[in-house]
Amino acid sequence: MAERDTEIAGNLTNPVVWGRVVFMLLFAVVFYFAVWVGAAVTLIQLGFKLVSGKPVPRLSAFGASLGHYLRQITAFETFGSEQKPWPMMAWPSPTSSDAGRNTAAGSAQVRRTRVVKTAARQAQDEKS
């Protein structure tokens, strides 16, 4: 029983865990604001679609990358990933492996992107 209590006390005083808690709180606030930004993009795109008949392509790309960013935050918050989202890593690209899910035929279209890391970025990723 004392061994279990020691393990729990060690977990509660682990500075790595408390550092993650701080990041989780910060990313929870960022998530809240990012959802509102996404809502604003949605309304702007709707306005452009109603007036001009077509959405703004750059806003569409931003909306897609914002969705990927929200997914990254959710994965970090729920311990699905140890990678901290932007600004700790690059902003997500609007294209990813699930970019083709909404095709007319319904078939998944796979886009592969080659990621090239600089030596400094590689060293930074290995540290974290």
Compute the distance between CA of residue 90 and CA of residue 124 in angstroms, rounded to an integer: 12
The answer to whether residues 45 and 55 touch, using CB atoms and an 8 Å cutoff, is: yes
List per-residue pLDDT tens for the chain, 128 residues long.
788 888 898 889 899 999 999 999 999 999 999 999 999 999 999 999 999 999 999 999 999 999 999 999 999 999 999 999 999 999 999 885 444 444 333 334 445 556 666 777 777 777 76
Give the pLDDT confidence score for residue 110 in this predicted structure.
47
Q: What is the pLDDT of residue 5?
A: 87
Letter for the amino acid at 67? G
Look at phi and psi of residue 79 and say left if phi exceeds 0, alpha if psi is from -120 to 50, else beta: left
The pTM assigned to this predicted structure is 0.70
Residue 57 and residue 94 in contact, taking contact as beta carbons nearer than 8 Å: no
Could you tell me which of 26, 56, 24, 28 has the C-alpha nearest to residue 40? 56
Helices (H), 53-102: 57-77
What pLDDT is recorded for position 73? Answer: 97
What pLDDT, on a 0 to 100 scale, did the predictor assign at position 125?
73
| pLDDT at res. 96 | 57
Tell me the torsion sign for CA atoms 67, 68, 73, 78: positive
pLDDT at 109: 46
Per-residue pLDDT at 100 = 41
